[in-house]
Amino acid sequence: MIKKSKIVVSLAAVALATAACSGESAPGPAGGTVAARSKVVLLGDSIAEGQSLPLGAAFAAGGAGFESLAAAGGGNVVGPFSEKNWEELPGQLAKAEPTVVIYQITTYDWGTQAEQKAAYGKLADTVSGAGAKLAFVSMPPIKVDDFYQPHMADLQRTAEVAKTVADGSGGKAVFLDATAVWGETYQQSKDGKADRSVDGIHTCPQGAARFTSWLLGKLTALLPGFTQPDPGAWANTGWSGDKRFQGC
């Protein structure tokens, strides 16, 4: 078993390497800054729950507000559970007063192309009505099992549908393709370390850190005044030991 301290140190290195490989500007030694009142809200399923841990630490280090509304076994806006989610989501977003809402496309976004497009359009309108901009983030590739096999055709088109909605939203939404982080297919390890859970779905601390570093770079264009905090300010804060990281 790898000691926790060694995992934390490796996360800082991963985050720094990801920022360098992305071609984005490296942060200054003082860390990041953000305009007053900027706030990010994260939506999604249990994949997003894991991502929320380093994201929360990173936004705190950068001075931005952050709230996760991700939910295990749901959190989706189309497909199973979505009708129940829509009963609460508009009120939750209005109360949160976000600047940017991130929708991590979930493994439950099943439905026809028309249903997906309608739901993503509704989300863009709802987020805009709350005074924020929406960022769709593509779903990490998963290891197909008997549970997901009947729904893979639906899941495989989610990125295309979300991009179409974002491109036609009149500036209400953008689409962020996370293939640069996860690759085209599920990979359990990267550089000899656990990156994704052995369950074929969730992220491990290293993967969550790489995703966070990538996403922070993308959000510099969406959050007024935001610059990336030094990875050393958020990767070493203890979140990697959370029980939500299982199978790593």
Per-residue pLDDT tens digits for 129-177: 999 999 999 999 999 999 999 999 999 999 999 999 999 999 999 999 9
Please give the structure tokens belonging to residue 11.
């996360």
Closest CA to 201 of 157, 138, 140: 140
Which pLDDT score is estimated for 19?
A: 45
17 assigned to some structural domain: no
7 assigned to some structural domain: no
Please give the structure tokens belonging to residue 8.
């934390």
Which pLDDT score is estimated for 226?
A: 85
* DSSP single-letter state for residue 73: T
3 assigned to some structural domain: no
18 assigned to some structural domain: no
Which pLDDT score is estimated for 224?
A: 84
214 assigned to some structural domain: yes
Residue 69 has pLDDT above 80, yes or no: yes
Report the CATH number at residue 83: 3.40.50.1110
**Residue pair 103/68 in contact by the 8 Å Cβ criterion:** no
Which pLDDT score is estimated for 79?
A: 97
State which residues form the domain around 45. 36-241
6 assigned to some structural domain: no
106 assigned to some structural domain: yes
Separation of alpha carbons 184 and 48, rounded Å: 19
Would you place residue 32 in the very low, low, confident or very high pLDDT band (cuts 50, 70, 90)? low
Distance of CA 23 to the CA centre of its chain: 20
76 assigned to some structural domain: yes
Determine how many CB atoms are found less than 10 A away from the CB of residue 134.
29
Q: What is the DSSP string of 172-205?
A: SEEEE-THHHH-SS--SEETTEE-B-TTSSSBPH
Task: Please state, in angstroms and as integers, the Cα–Cα distance from residue 143 to each residue in 96, 161, 178, 202, following that order.
Answer: 34, 21, 17, 10
Can you tell me the mean pLDDT for 233-238? 94
Domain count, the chain: 1
Q: What backbone torsions phi and psi does residue 112 show, to the nearest 5 degrees?
A: -70, 165
